Amino acid sequence: MLTRYEEVGLINDSAFAETWVESRHRGRGLARRALATELRSRGVDNAVVAEAVARLDPEQEAATARALVERKLRSTSGLDRQVRLRRLAGMLARRGYSEGLALRVVREALDAEADEAESEL
């Protein structure tokens, strides 16, 4: 029965994986690592997972990380810089972003915020 469904196109892991990656990246801001984990937990073959997450543009992933940090930045405004750095980088890590990207994006946001505060004085 499943073979017949595949033949007529009702079961298509590649299409499912592509749609999943696009939807979850846009909606929840998940990075490649988290998306791959979710797809594998749903029984999608590793080769299909790798192909689907490879289509996610690295620049788009970085832009999404920046947007997530910008949204969360204000809620940490009264805290020490190192605390803010850890919390914001941790938030990105939980969404599957690499440590390097997370730290770079958070530091850039914190530096930009400090520069803006200095220019207002």
Residue spans of the domains in the chain: they are: 1-56, 57-121
CATH code for the domain defined by 1-56: 1.10.10
pLDDT given at position 1: 65
CB 84 within 8 A of CB 102: no
49-56 mean pLDDT: 95
What global pTM score does this model have? 0.83
Contacts of 24 (CB under 8 A, 6+ apart): 30, 34, 35, 38
Task: Measure Cα distances from 5 to 1, 11, 44, 46 in Å.
Answer: 6, 6, 16, 21
Point out the least confidently predicted range of 13-22, 27-36, 100-109. 13-22
Give the mean pLDDT of the chain: 91
pLDDT given at position 13: 85
